[in-house]
Chain A
Amino acid sequence: MARKPENPIFLERERYRMRRLMDAARLAPVLAAFLFLLPLMWSASEAVKTASVLVYLFAAWGLLTAVTAFLSRKLHKIPRDKWQERP
């Protein structure tokens, strides 16, 4: 099957961005798990205060929420039938 002629630069670029966006969405939970497990490293060291851990966790949580909101809004704009695993 011959490929259909298309506007290559624009479309390819668009699709490339779309795929990287999906990659980011896949990696977001890894980042979240990393940030949430990080405080475990501190417990070995000298007396860490509950208050500072709390501030850190809520800050990380808020940041992750913002990042996810950004990614989701972008992904939301992609037509649903293009929400595929493979090209």
Chain B
Amino acid sequence: MGMLNVLVTVSLAYVTFLFMVAFFADRAAARGRSKWLQSPLIYTLSLSIYCTAWTFYGAVGYAARSGVEFLTIYLGPSIVMIGWWLILRKLVRIGRSQRVTSIADLISSRFGKSNSLAVVVTVIAVVGTTPYIALQLQSVTLALDAFAGEEVTPSVGPSATALWLAVGLALFTVLFGTRNLDANERHDGVVMAIAVEAVVKLVALVAVGLFVIWGIGGGIGPTMERISQSEIARWDVSAGRWMGLMFLSSAALLTLPRMFQVMVVENEDERHLATASWAFPAYLLLMSLFVVPIAVLGLEYMPDGANPDLFVLTLPLAEGRNTLAMLSFLGGFSSATSMVIVAAIALSTMVSNHIVMPIWLSTQGSTAMVAGDVRHVVLLSRRLSIMGVLTLGYLYHHTTGGGEALASIGLISFAGVAQTLPALLGGIFWRGATRVGALMGMVVGFVLWAYTLFMPSFGPEVFMSETFLREGPFGWGWLRPEALFGIASSDPVVHSVVWSMSLNTFTFFIFSLISFPTPLERLQGAQFVNVFDHSARPGSWSRGLAEAEDLLVMAQRILGPSEAQSLFRSEAVSQGITGYLPETTPEFLQRLEREMAGSVGAATAHAMVGQILGRASVTVEDLMAVADETAQIMEYSNQLEAKSAELTRTARQLRAANEKLTQMSVQKDAFLSQISHELRTPMTSIRAFSEILRDGGLDDAALAKYAGIIHDEAIRLTRLLDDLLDLSVLENGQVSLNERVGKIGDVLNQAVAAAGIENSRLRVVRSKVREDLMIYTDLDRLSQVFINLISNALKYCDAARPRLEVSIRDLGDTLAIDFIDNGSGIPMASQDVIFEKFSRVGSDQAAGGAGLGLAICREIMHRLGGTVSYLPGQGGGAFRVILPVTVVRSGR
């Protein structure tokens, strides 16, 4: 029992170590210290999830059975990596520019953001990957059994091991795979853990290899001699299998959901591909270098009937090298777990984005303005999908009970996911490929694969009866699953791949030729195929009646408030508009859609924006841009476009300026009448009461009362004049700032105390997060701004239970302090003018202000190098004060 206990302890320690690696990598990334996390080395190592337990244990078994043929599984992907310039570079560029979240998302996005297509790809991926996950569970179970020998007690049977493994993997994947709804779907913690596992499995296999060659084989020469005398000494490989398997493994590298996840979705920088192009083939070379020696010596030394799939483990065990065997077990464990984790993430993203979310959205009625934070729903649906995928894998393992040779499931799985290859390659290289073609091709390929390979692989009497397999359905010989059209092949895999891939491709071509694409498909087609020529082309939305504020509300729920606000803000700035609400131009809508696609997938994002816009259509300009083929026209129209864009921008700025001027002229008139009014009211009462005083004949009480009124009015007058003076000093830039270091929380404390809210009903709610940040600025002036904003809320918040929320946010290069109340807010029409002098919302003379407060705030913030602005779409009046981060940093 001792050996097994040690093994379990070591494994648990290793798992704990992986959790810590993932945790610290995630934390480092969250703090922006992820430079080394994003190196080409980590990227290359993460690609090694191609080498699963099938490689680690199965390759040796494969070599023991069929000799050198096992190498095809690694030569194929090497060819694709060596040819990175042709295909992978384009895939990665498209993946980044279109914010692709999975292979289903890429194909659906290319063919007009069609969700039905995404569903088909998702189904293919799930059906193709589930057996593979089961295979990984099985490999760990088998390895554990091999270690335990006869020690296995009935309570810890093989199935229990697989169950606990599946539960542990689900836990890890949920923890690190769905920590946040990352805008670009990257999981630094997971990638780092996988990179570590990649090193472990390479070291383990190389260590076993070196031991076998020098420890048992007696050096390179004698080992080669043994190979030449072994059962697999003769080079007799079938050409069909050699080419077929090489093709299949190349296709798998491109289409396996987990490979797509690490290669395209998790890619940080296109240039990492340049390194991986040679480093990954080198990794594969090292992984397969010792496979044949291990197989040959295993065949020689191990007793007859020993499972060759476990030679990597049993050979060191038989030689009494327990530490080496333990390392080997950890290598196999790493191979299995890293594959399962990434496959679960990739599949759950697809299932959640293309199946669960569309169903959930459709149950929410016809509007995208659903209540609550959609991000929680997305995360929950991902987590449930991960558990679902692993449950499927476990059930598959449980029902089939394992037993088959490891390699056969792997190849069947490869052939299944390869059915997406024609649509994928056709989509990125051929403008004429259409949605109908892709859909028909994939369905035909998938059905043929299931009929000729997947279902027969379970053996007779599971899906197909003995006679069905031998004589075909209804006795039609030409439909025999393993010999279609009477062409019997010696090899079922090659037979199935040839038929399914060729008919898939033909169907794809023929239906693409005879069908007609929708405008959106043509537009996406042009963007995908010509991704290197123009990565940013005009968008797909007609200028509709989209309300920017509705879009902002929706975007906040999907992207998170600060991300959505900064997106809207930056777009508004590039359009030359101040504030948070840009015009809903097609360019902006496309950008927004892409950002949201990073969270919920292209098809869902498109549908959600479509619901707010009311309709989805493509403008004439968009179609013309697609139709423009020749370079001359392109250049000419680009110039025109640039000019017209500039004109539009200028016109927009002029329009805004004109509007503002008109308003200011109205305000100027208002200013004069306001100021005379403001000055006259106190003046009138001062004059009247001083006349009464002059006339005399008053008792002491009346005298004191009238003098008091005169005094109060004089103070009000002085305050008004002080404000005016303050404003003019600020506007002329004559103010001298008294800068010092202080805690931002203290400034807020001071402001809350001075705003006079003790006896009012207004409740100020402060989140204490970041309140202890030190800042270096004029604290008194800043406090003046805060007092103004708080007393504004006190005056204007019309809720039954008024409440003001004050929170501090870190926006990266700036610090924002938000003041959000629960009143009815400021109407759209007034948002532009509230910062002007004497502007008051409504006719609220009652509030008693002269309308100078916000104007002073704006000037102060301007002097302090920051801004104060109105924040729309927060469900109440909301102001945001922004301090430049230099102010904060130098305060530290």
Give A contacts to B, CB under 8 Å. Answer: 1, 22, 25-26, 28-30, 32-33, 36-37, 39-40, 42-43, 47-54, 57-58, 61-62, 64-66, 68-69, 72-73, 75-76, 80, 83-86
Contact of A68 among B82, B270, B289, B530 (CB under 8 A): B82
A61 touches B78 (CB 8 A): yes
Cβ–Cβ < 8 Å partners of B84 in chain A: 25, 72
What would be 23 A-B contacts, judged by CB atoms less than 8 Å apart? Answer: A26-B83, A26-B85, A29-B82, A33-B79, A36-B75, A36-B246, A37-B243, A39-B242, A43-B237, A50-B68, A50-B227, A50-B292, A51-B224, A51-B227, A53-B235, A64-B82, A65-B78, A66-B278, A68-B82, A69-B277, A69-B278, A72-B274, A80-B270
B228 touches A50 (CB 8 A): yes
Contact of B78 among A32, A72, A73 (CB under 8 A): A32
Cβ–Cβ < 8 Å partners of A66 in chain B: 278
Describe B's contact surface by its main secondary structure: helix
In the complex, number of A-B residue pairs with CB atoms less than 8 Å apart: 120
Cα of A27 to Cα of B83 in the assembled complex, Å: 8
- With both chains docked as a complex, state the minimum distance between the C-beta of A17 and any C-beta of chain B, in angstroms: 16
Contact of A64 among B78, B230, B233 (CB under 8 A): B78
A61 touches B233 (CB 8 A): no
Describe A's contact surface by its main secondary structure: helix
- With both chains docked as a complex, state the minimum distance between the C-beta of B225 and any C-beta of chain A, in angstroms: 8
Cα of A67 to Cα of B487 in the assembled complex, Å: 42
A68-B79 contact given A50-B292, A51-B228, A57-B71, CB 8 Å threshold: no
Q: Counting CB contacts under 8 A, is B472 at the interface?
A: no
Cα of A29 to Cα of B631 in the assembled complex, Å: 30
Contact of A28 among B67, B83, B282, B289 (CB under 8 A): B83
A40 touches B239 (CB 8 A): yes
**Chain B: which residue is nearest A49 at the CB level?**
B228
B228 touches A85 (CB 8 A): no
B68 touches A57 (CB 8 A): yes
A53 touches B68 (CB 8 A): yes
The 9 closest A-B pairs by CB, nearest first: A29-B83, A69-B278, A25-B85, A68-B278, A48-B235, A72-B274, A76-B274, A32-B79, A51-B227
A43 touches B85 (CB 8 A): no
**Chain A: which residue is nearest B230 at the CB level?**
A50
Cα of A66 to Cα of B278 in the assembled complex, Å: 7
Tell me the residues in window 161-211 of chain B with beta carbons closer than 8 Å to chain A beta carbons: none
Question: How many B residues, CB 8 Å from partner?
Answer: 45
**Chain B: which residue is nearest A39 at the CB level?**
B235
Cα of A61 to Cα of B71 in the assembled complex, Å: 11
Cβ–Cβ < 8 Å partners of B71 in chain A: 57
Tell me the residues in window 361-397 of chain B with beta carbons closer than 8 Å to chain A beta carbons: none
**Chain B: which residue is nearest A1 at the CB level?**
B635
A68-B285 contact given A37-B242, A49-B228, A50-B68, CB 8 Å threshold: no
Cβ–Cβ < 8 Å partners of A29 in chain B: 79-80, 82-83, 86
Q: Counting CB contacts under 8 A, is B271 at the interface?
A: yes
Q: Counting CB contacts under 8 A, is B574 at the interface?
A: no
Cβ–Cβ < 8 Å partners of A25 in chain B: 83-85
Contact of A80 among B271, B275, B289 (CB under 8 A): B271
Cα of A72 to Cα of B246 in the assembled complex, Å: 23
- With both chains docked as a complex, state the minimum distance between the C-beta of A72 and any C-beta of chain B, in angstroms: 4
Cα of A25 to Cα of B289 in the assembled complex, Å: 26
Tell me the residues in window 488-547 of chain B with beta carbons closer than 8 Å to chain A beta carbons: 530, 532-533
Q: Counting CB contacts under 8 A, is B730 at the interface?
A: no
Q: Counting CB contacts under 8 A, is B669 at the interface?
A: no
Q: Which of B232, B270, B282, B533 has the most CB of A within 10 A?
A: B282
Contact of B235 among A49, A69, A75 (CB under 8 A): A49
**Chain A: which residue is nearest B85 at the CB level?**
A25
Cβ–Cβ < 8 Å partners of A54 in chain B: 68, 227, 292
